[in-house]
Amino acid sequence: MTLIDRAGIPGARRVVVKVGSSSISGDNAAKIQPLVEALAGAHAAGTEVVLVSSGAIATGMPFLALDERPSDLATQQAAAAVGQNVLIYRYQEALRPFRIVAGQVLLTAGDLENPTHRSNARRAMERLLGLRILPIVNENDTVATHEIRFGDNDRLAALVAQLVGADALILLSDIACLYTRPPDEPGARPIVDVGTGDDLSGYEFGSVVVNSVGTGGAATKASAAKLAAASGIATLVTSADLVQAALAGDQVGTFFVPQPVRTPVPTGAIRTTA
| CA separation for the pair 123, 22 (Å, rounded) | 31
- Consult the annotation and say whether 141 binds a ligand: yes
Taking the CA atoms of 256, 259, 264 and 269 in sequence, report the sign of the dihedral they define. negative
| CA separation for the pair 188, 180 (Å, rounded) | 5
| CA separation for the pair 69, 80 (Å, rounded) | 11
- Consult the annotation and say whether 25 binds a ligand: no
| CA separation for the pair 198, 83 (Å, rounded) | 39
CA 42 to the chain's CA centroid: 16
Burial class (CB in 10 A: 0-12, 13-18, 19+), 242: buried
- Consult the annotation and say whether 174 binds a ligand: yes
- Consult the annotation and say whether 154 binds a ligand: no
- Consult the annotation and say whether 241 binds a ligand: no
- Consult the annotation and say whether 54 binds a ligand: yes
Contact present, 208 and 152 (Cβ < 8 Å): yes
Task: Return binding residues for ATP.
Answer: 18, 173-174
Task: Return binding residues for substrate.
Answer: 54, 141, 153
Task: Return binding residues.
Answer: 18, 54, 141, 153, 173-174
